[in-house]
Structure 1
Amino acid sequence: MGVEYTAKTFKSGNSIALRLPKALGIKEGMEMKVREEDGNLIVAPADRPKRKFNIDKVWGCAAGSGLQPIKPEDRVFEHRPLLWEDPEWMAKYGSAE
């Protein structure tokens, strides 16, 4: 178990707030999740939103490289067996219909 701190709650508007020690490394503005589990409050950082890719940073970077779009006639793929095409798998798991 880690280090234990004592903190006191206080009223903040219509809510009850809890000041957390700086030593915990929680940065101002961090979004936190709070859940109750067997009478204990569990506080953890909220999942970070997935980063969005900014195409503006790479758009045009291949200019002059000789790269060309793939021609439709070159977009041919060999068939490979898929799990749901296997009769044994279908018999066991079938479709949800």
Structure 2
Amino acid sequence: MLAKVFKSGNSMAIRIPKAIDLKNIKEFDIQVLDNNLILSPKKQENEWQSFFKALGDFKEPLKREKDEIPQSRDLSFDYFNQTNNS
């Protein structure tokens, strides 16, 4: 199958024939091997894998300031004794 190369802005682009069904693939890894250009679909990580991978980038656990005091909150709520302002 033949693919056309063209200039797109300051980059080169390859027009992939419609017959090659890429479905939802939007990104590729590009390798040059022995004068051949190899396009491989980028592996998709699920969101949780990405999240845990990002957590692994922290060198130390997150620390609180010593003087930081948690904000006090009034958690009482009496649904039946509310006044109706309407």
TM-score by length of 2: 0.50
Higher relative contact order (CA 8 A, sep 6+): 2
Structure (1 or 2) with the greater strand fraction: 2
